[in-house]
Amino acid sequence: MTAALNRALFAVVVPATAILGAFLLVRYGGQLPPAVAALRNYGAYAMLAVTALTSLGFNRSRPFFVALTLAAAYLGYKLIIVPDLGSVAARTVYLGICLLVPINLALLAWLPERGIFNVWSLRRLVLILGEVALVAALARAQDLYLLNLLEQRLFALALPGSPPIPQLGVLTAAGSFLAIAVRLVGRGSPNEAGLAGALAAFTCFAYTLAHPAAASAFAAAAALILFASLLQDSYRMAFRDELTGLPNRRALNERLMSLSGHYAVAMVDVDHFKRFNDAHGHDVGDQVLRMVAARLAEVGGGGRPYRFGGEEFAVLFPGVTLREALPHLEALRARIAGYKLAVRGKERPASERSGRRERGRRAPDTHVSVTVSVGVAEPNERYTSPEEVLRAADKALYRAKRRGRNQVSR
């Protein structure tokens, strides 16, 4: 399964499963054992607390402040809306929840991850506390004129529900979801997928406020989606190389332990990379590594690429013999050698999207080419364990270097 497909599945399957689970809990909760049915009442508190504490432990500010935002909304719902649903104070808090939570989630999707214990997080905390204070002040003031103004209908379509989501809240949720979706398409990280799913679950929460059991279940679903995205993002950080997007050496070591039967291991190294870095700079060197990683991701024969470290990569061929892997490695070597990489000039935008827009409007940048040396090995009477096969592939790589580079050696 490719990383892109994995992200797409996470972005759809996990939120849909959590929201469906909340619906089933509401629908059939009365038929469940009391301990399970109690999740409708206490699941939201538990999941929000677990997500916030886990975020603190991982020093991840975005899930922490999303959990804090959802917790503030849920407490406002429990303390003010539930006791008197039709009061001016309850209507004010409801409107504040419908407007501010989606806006906060959209803002957090676009703000960079900076960790928790710093001045940036202090500013975000002040913002959330300021929003809570503002909504509390408006609820206490019971300003019917402002409330009616913000609750007025803006278009003919009316959503059923008691209380109905204010149309301004519907527009805010739709705009926030679009902003998160744009960020998700651009970055494709679990963070944005979790935010989109949490916003969908929050919308269900806001729609069911008149039914406490349902609202609590959907609030718990929002926290669960957020928690799942936090875990997946932590896994990605631990097992993915940030520069190339390939699985890293830790992932390689884990995969090596599961190999058995027929397999081949290849080591790939960029030729004269230090000299290339010295001549063109580290930014261009990073471009080269990303290009090589992209070609490795396209290798045939069932090969699975990994970033081994520096300019060195590994490719595993589970269930494939060395003889079967050789043509695919040779094709890989030829594709890399024939690729003309456009070196980003000083005036070229750093953003890839801006760079694509500039193509064709001015003369192309300098083009460079690189080659790779490849060593490949398979288990035999001498090399019986995956670690020994990996070392044999590394020795074969250095034989390719000694023989003149830009070749595959076994």
Active site members: 311
In DSSP notation, 226-289 reads HHHHHHHHHHHHHHB-TTT-SB-HHHHHHHHTT--SSEEEEEEEETTHHHHHHHH-HHHHHHHH
State the helix-helix crossing angle for 61-76 and 212-239, rounded to 10 degrees.
Answer: 170
| Number of helices (H), then strands (E), in the chain | 16, 7
**H or E segment and range at residue 91:** helix 88-110
Residue in 18, 203, 25 with CA at minimum distance from that of residue 98: 203
161 φ, ψ to 5°? 140, 155
Within 10 Å of residue 374's Cβ, how many Cβ atoms?
25
Q: Rounded to an integer, what distance in angstroms lies between the CA atom of residue 28 and that of residue 10? A: 26
The string of DSSP letters for 109-156 reads: HHSPP--SSSHHHHHHHHHHHHHHHHHHHHHHHT-HHHHHHHHS--SS
- Rounded to 10 degrees, the C-alpha dihedral 90/94/100/106 comes to 160
Taking every pair of C-alpha atoms in the chain, what is the biggest distance, in angstroms? 85
